[in-house]
Amino acid sequence: MCGRYTLTNKKEVKRKFEIDIEQNFNICPSSKVLVYTNKPEWMEWNYSPSWAKKPMNLINARYETIDEKPSFKNMSRCVFIMDGWYEWKRFFDWSKRENVKDPYYHHLNSEIIFVAGLYQRGRCVCVTKKSVKPISEIHNRQPLLLEESQVEKWISGDHILRDSLSKNIQIHRVSTYVNSPKNNDTNCVQPR
């Protein structure tokens, strides 16, 4: 799953896409996000199919079922541009007798990460797949990572079965400071 992410590498975004961005350490669903279609575009990160009677506010789509689910029928492909994402590890704290969620930051040392996405009518969702190790130790789902050479292939409809980037992802625990969407600074990504 992917429910929060970062885009902070202003210099690389400017070099690759000729766009000036503000650093964002805590991108949340419903935010305007930078994606690439055949050009860089800003879209809202959530989606409800036109046939839905009430808003579904979908933010992720399982890669394994995107061709089967009515929610994603007729959607076009895009690529999310990020440089890290957060995931929460859930466990039961026996000493406190409660469920706990610890946030972890996944990244490639501020390098740009391309993630498969779908969009329609200016709204988008992130495509996820089953996690690989060590990511699976935090959560059973992860974004479908694309190498730069796979970006155009994804957009044109190719099926991407595996990536070589996941094994290089670095992970560290961060503070629950990131839990609040109001917090948007370097404290979100600092190791705890």
Residue 132 has a pLDDT of: 93
Question: Rounded mean pLDDT of 90-100?
Answer: 74
> 2 is written with which tokens?
């992917």
Tell how strand 123-130 and strand 60-62 pair up.
parallel
Do the beta carbons of residue 89 and residue 102 sit within 8 Å? yes
Mean pLDDT over 47-52 rounds to: 92
- Provide the residue range defining the domain that includes 12: 4-188
Q: Is residue 100 scored above 80 in pLDDT?
A: no
Range 38-58 average pLDDT? 94
Residue 118, domain CATH: 3.90.1680.10
Using the predicted structure, report yes or no on whether residue 10 has a pLDDT greater than 90.
yes
Question: What ranges make up the beta strands (E) of 13-122?
Answer: 24-27, 32-36, 40-44, 60-62, 76-82, 84-93, 98-107, 113-120
pLDDT tens column, 128-174: 999 999 999 999 999 999 999 999 999 999 987 778 899 999 999 99
- Tally of structural domains, the chain: 1
Task: State pTM to two decimals.
Answer: 0.94
